[in-house]
Amino acid sequence: MKLKYFLFIILAFSGVVISCSDYLDIPPMNVVQDKDLFSDATGMTVYLSRMYSQMPFEDFKYSPARQFFDDWLVTPGTNDGASLGRDAGTAMTSEGWARNGAYWGRAFNLLRDANRLLETLPDYKDNFSEAEYNHFIGEGYFARAMVFYALAKRYGGMPLVTSVLNYPEVPVDQLEVARSTEEETWNQVLADFNLAIANLSEASPKRGYANKYVAYGFKSEAMLYAGSVAKYNKITGFGEKTNVRVIGFDPNTAAEASKKYFKEAYSAGREVMKSGKYSLYKKKWAANDKEAQYQNMVDMFFDVTSSENIYIKEYKYPDLAHGFDSYNIPRQLMGGNGYSAGNCPTLDFVELFDGFAKNDDGTIKVFDDNGKYLMYDKITDIFANAEPRLRAYVILPGDVFKGEVIDIRRGIYIGDASGGIDPLRVVNSGSPDYTVSGPSNYNQVDAYKAIGAFGQKSLFLSQNGTTHETVVLNDGTVMNAGGKSGPFTSDGTAAMTGFVIRKWLNPNMPQSLVLEARSEQHFVLMRYAEILLNVAEAGVELMLAGETAPSGDNFQQIAFDAIQEIRERAGADLLMGISDVSGEDGLQVIRTERRKELAFENKTLWDIRRWRTQHSDMLNGYTQTDGAYYKGLYPFYSATTDKYFFDAGLDEGRRRFRFTEQDYYMAIPSGEVSKSPLIDQQPGR
């Protein structure tokens, strides 16, 4: 979507015009009035531009920490376990930690604009063709649905303001609207999406506008969230002021509500599929060609004309740009602002993918059967056969980006390797310790301190990008212990996990332009792969609930085909058979596929919240209720063998993520609660 800022103020949006004198009843000339805004499609462009500038789109201007309309150090993924970041995801995972409730006020501003459009446009219906009028009405319902959806997944039950509340036309005692139940709120989201779909055009009449299938897509996403909460949420409570169930569902109706919402999610997604308007992007895809599959997946996020794009947010310098490249570029390509590597994918995320050696528990295999490190001729060999989708999303050690080898190396080992190399994370000659109680930093281990079984200093490290220990190789070459892009322990601008994000990074952006507010690549807010995943998940959920598929559909077959199509495009291992998507195990297959395919798109955080698993899933021995840690993969060069090995273990920085069950619902801004006789705070807050 491409928005332009208009250099005038639409004062008439308030609906109140005050003249400069009692006797001169003429509106000021700088006020845009209803008769101008609702005169034709051009006037509506102004109105809709204001609305779209306030839409709760989770794009390059969004981060869980700061919410909407603020692109400072935006690094999608650092709150859902896909990555770690210096500034955007260390010990905070409760959304809105920095600005709790920041979206509350802005939400009601847009809600007012949407309601005003719906109430006022009928008075000017004769100014438009029937198609134009219906579409603009649909835009009003679409905006309102998006607002209520954004609020419901953060707060639960909301004040359902569905009309403009103007004082003094509306008495003061009626201006206060209490929070409805969470179920009523989700029902309002559903109703508004349905009205949007009924009115919107099949194709967007103007670039950046919504259309019927955009609304179907977001309806599918929203109803999947509602169905999951109705099924999996365990906490509920009533407001003290109104005794309304403001969070959670009535246990007596939750199961039926869940099935209803899953049916709506499924049918909305199926409408998109059956339209034939969209397909998975495969312009450069070729069977059995990993390089072509990789390049295809890189290109799909930069192709505005992609057949997969259902709805995108466009950017253009200088009117509307973002800083994703500046914040996330590998350290050796750091731009003039001094930021880099804001998104460092975790090993836990990388281990979800196919194509490299793993242990029985699914973790990456770095030791041989004798407990010695596996050795590789080249640093890239460990991931040489990884699925192309991984390489398209993550810069792996030794990968090429912008024509340059990305130099990721933790250190150099110079000890004897003739009998293999023992694990490095050993202190005082003890057994390898990769737990929280073990050494967090490699400068603590025996090999570095020249003690214990290692006998002498055999490990060399670099503290940051300018302070290096060096090793003279056999050919006389001087080699820095750490790579140009890290990881380093005292430099938060490096590949702290051994990886850097690739997804969304513009490979063609001139290095001189790697600055804040200079990036122009668009953000894909809704794409066809998500629709396939929505339909697959909703279908399996309905199967588990004992529901029958609509006539002509087969839940299991459609789910299987959807996942198989996505995995084939990704270059991943194909499913063995239709039974792979049946039952609870099949549901987990689909969830894993979502985490892989939709990573770094501001989707995964909401998935693990609607599944109600964020607080309880075990992660490296802990839950996020306890405070959990993520892993990195650290490459080392063996100078005596001219080979590489990798050490897998907890992130050296020991960044700890905490999230409790109560955090699934954000607190209502305290000021709103204290001044209102009706607005309830979340129970237990």
Judgement on whether residues 429 and 307 belong to the same structural domain of the protein? no
Residues 37 and 162 in one domain: yes
| Full domain range(s) for residue 454 | 319-523+626-654
678 domain-assigned: no
Mean local confidence (pLDDT), 86-98: 51
- Determine the pLDDT at residue 169: 67
Kindly report, residue by residue over 347-376, the tens digit of the pLDDT.
999 999 999 999 999 999 999 999 999 999
Mean pLDDT (the chain, rounded): 90
Q: Which two tokens stand for residue 112?
A: 């007012």
Q: Are 462 and 372 a contacting pair, CB within 8 Å?
A: no
Tens of pLDDT, residue by residue over 510-543, are 999 999 999 999 999 999 999 999 999 999 999 9
Residue 87: pLDDT above 80?
no
The arithmetic mean of pLDDT across residues 553-581, rounded, is 97
pLDDT band at residue 2 under the 50/70/90 scheme: very low
662 within some domain: no
Residue 657 pLDDT? 85
* pLDDT at 216 > cutoff 80: yes
Q: What percentage of the chain carries pLDDT values higher than 70?
A: 91
Assign 76 a pLDDT band (cuts: 50, 70, 90). confident
The answer to whether position 681 is within a domain reads: no
Residues 125 and 190 in one domain: yes
Q: What is the pLDDT of residue 20?
A: 32
- How confident is the model at residue 8, as a pLDDT? 31
Q: Of 656, 525, 679, whose CA–CA distance to 603 is shortest?
A: 525
**φ/ψ bin of 424: left (φ > 0), alpha (ψ from -120 to 50), beta (otherwise):** alpha
- Dihedral, CA of residue 586, residue 587, residue 593 and residue 599, to nearest 10: -170
pLDDT digits (tens, 9 = 90+) for 140-191: 999 999 999 999 999 999 999 999 877 666 666 667 899 999 999 999 999 9
Q: Is 455 strand, coil or helix? A: coil
Segment 248-265, tens digit of pLDDT: 999 999 999 999 999 999
Nearest CA to 329 among 513, 114, 143? 513
CATH of residue 115's domain is 1.25.40.390
Which pLDDT score is estimated for 635? 98
pLDDT score of 490 more than 60: yes
Residue 336 pLDDT greater than 50, yes or no: yes
Q: How confident is the model at residue 81 (pLDDT cuts 50, 70, 90)?
A: confident
CA–CA distance, 408 with 482 (Å, rounded to integer): 7
Residues 269, 194: one domain? Answer: yes
What's phi and psi for 470, nearest 5 deg? -125, 155
What is the structure's pLDDT at 22? 37
Q: Which of 408, 479, 495 is nearest to 642 (CA)?
A: 479
Residues 474 and 545 in one domain: no
- Tell whether 89 is covered by a domain: no
Q: What is the CATH number of the domain that holds 304?
A: 1.25.40
Shared domain check, 113 and 50: yes
Nearest residue to 268 via CA among 114, 121, 149, 151? 149
Band the pLDDT of 48: cuts 50, 70, 90: very high
Task: Quote the pLDDT of residue 73.
Answer: 77
- Paired strand residues for 358: 364
Total domains in the chain come to 3
Same domain assignment for residues 430 and 539: no
382-439 residue pLDDT tens: 999 999 999 999 999 999 999 999 999 999 999 999 999 999 998 887 888 888 888 8
Position 124, amino acid: Y
Judge whether residue 14 has pLDDT over 50: no
Of 588, 614, 640, the position where a domain reaches its end is 614
What is the chain's percent helix, strand, coil content, to nearest 5? Answer: 35, 10, 50
Q: How much is the pLDDT for 302?
A: 97
The token duo for 331 is 């350290």
User: What does residue 472 show for φ and ψ, rounded to 5 degrees?
Assistant: -90, 115
Same domain, 581 and 607: yes
Q: How far apart are CA 76 and CA 605, in angstroms?
A: 9
- d(Cα 547, Cα 184) in Å, to the nearest integer? 23
User: Which of 413, 401, 384, 661 lies closest to 511, judged by CA?
Assistant: 401
Is position 110 within any domain? yes
Mean pLDDT of 584-613: 97
Does residue 675 fall inside a structural domain?
no
pLDDT at residue 220 in the model = 98
Confidence category of residue 602, pLDDT binned at 50, 70, 90: very high
Domain presence at residue 175:
yes
* Residue 385, pLDDT score: 97
Are 299 and 414 in a shared domain?
no
Query: How far apart are the C-alpha atoms of 427 and 523, rounded to whole Å?
Result: 47
- Check whether residue 450 and residue 336 sit in a common domain: yes
Residue 485 lies in a domain: yes
pLDDT tens, residue by residue, 629-646: 999 999 999 999 999 999
Q: Are residues 347 and 304 in the same domain?
A: no
What integer pLDDT is reported at residue 170 of this predicted model? 62
Looking at the fold, whether 270 and 390 belong to one and the same domain comes out as: no
Can you tell me which residue has the tokens 């909407």? 68
pLDDT of residue 101: 58
Q: What is the pLDDT of residue 480?
A: 96
Tokens (6 digits) for 352: 């979800």
Q: What is the 3-state secondary structure (H, E, C) of 354-390?
A: CCCCECCCCCECCECCCCCECCECCCCHHHCCCCHHH
Does 12 score more than 80 pLDDT? no
Burial class (CB in 10 A: 0-12, 13-18, 19+), 675: exposed
Residue 325 reports pLDDT greater than 80? yes
